[in-house]
Amino acid sequence: MVFKRRDPISWVAWVREMFYPSGGFRRATQYVIHRMRRLPDKPHRIARGMFAGCFIGFLPLPGLQFLFGALLAWIMRGNIFAALLGTFNSNPLTTPFFAVGAISLGHWMLGIDSSLSPEAIGAAFANAGRDLWHNFLAIFTPRHMEWSGLLQFWKTVYVPYFIGALVPGFFISVVFYYLTIPLVHAYQKARAAKFKERSEKRTLLREKLAALKSRSEPVSDTKQGDDDPAPGT
């Protein structure tokens, strides 16, 4: 399988890997590119999948990026595995910078006049988390549901983030699309040439072995019975 580990890791190590890969982000990026180039599909289909995965990766869809990336790749008739690889553009190193820019753009597009300081964004997350926990407890207690913190988070953070991520996410994904096609095409061409060279070497080796085998076989100078004495002599 493409994504199956040879040695399974614990959930603690998995969480740590999500925030900082053991080999560093550079090695993780090289791994994604290596996997993407080796996908057995046409370059334009792999590029469509990469576009779908990158685009979905920029959107605030935590826990659902694989699902929506695969769905968009299927709609675009792209490679689904390339889409899953493309969603890795969303990671703890890049997301905070992109999120601030996307939220700022979303506020401008929607005409929202609200503070975007780290304190304000942190407060919005804290209020939303508080409401989620309160509403969960309200299911089992006489408490009333609270939605003010969630509504504030929805209006000032999530919706602006989603709207603001659409435009830059689309154009960046287009760049990835056009970079993927020549990259995969060149890799597949070089790989096909290497396979052809190996096949020709194997064919030449078989021909040499066959020639040596034919030379080592004994060859009779005369046919059987030629040296037998004639009857009656």
Residue 233 lies in a domain: no
Q: Which residue has the tokens 């779908």?
A: 52
21: exposed, middle or buried (Cβ count in 10 Å: 0-12, 13-18, 19+): middle
* Stretch 33-39: mean pLDDT: 58
Segment of 33-42, 118-127, 168-177 carrying the highest mean pLDDT: 168-177
Other Cβ atoms less than 10 A from the Cβ of 155: the count is: 14
Cα 194 versus chain centre, distance: 25
pLDDT-derived band at 42, boundaries 50, 70, 90: confident
Residue 63: predicted pLDDT: 81
Is residue 117 a part of any domain in this protein? yes
Q: Is residue 119 domain-resident?
A: yes
Whether 212 is covered by a domain: the verdict is no
Contacts of 63 (CB under 8 A, 6+ apart): none
Give the pLDDT confidence of 84-101 residue by residue, as tens digits: 888 878 777 778 888 888
Min mean pLDDT across 20-24, 31-35, 99-103 is at 20-24
More confident residue, 208 or 39: 208
Residue among 177, 153, 23, 159 at smallest CA distance from 89: 177
Q: What is the CA radius of gyration of the chain?
A: 32
pLDDT score, position 217: 65
Contact 82, 115 (CB under 8 A): no
Q: What is the pLDDT of residue 178?
A: 93
Cβ-contact 45, 37 below 8 angstroms: no
Burial 83-110 (b: 16+ CB within 10 A, else e): bbbbbbbbbeeebeebbeebbebbbeee
Residue 89 near residue 59, CB atoms below 8 Å: no
Q: Which domain holds residue 41?
A: 24-197
Share the mean pLDDT of the chain: 78
In a domain, 89, yes or no: yes
Q: Report if residue 160 sits inside a domain.
A: yes
Domain count within the chain = 1
Q: How confident is the model at residue 215 (pLDDT cuts 50, 70, 90)?
A: confident
What pLDDT, in 10s, does the model give residues 130-150? 988 988 888 888 888 888 888
Lowest mean pLDDT, pick from 11-15, 42-46, 151-155, 210-214? 11-15
Tokens 């020549």, residue? 182
CA distance 184 to 36: 8
Domain assignment present for 19: no
pLDDT in tens, 56-82: 999 998 888 889 999 999 999 988 888
Whole-number pLDDT of residue 19: 46
pLDDT of residue 6: 61
What residues contact 19, with CB distance under 8 A and at least 6 apart?
A: 92
Is residue 48 situated within a structural domain? yes
Cα(202)–Cα(109) distance, rounded to whole angstroms?
A: 63
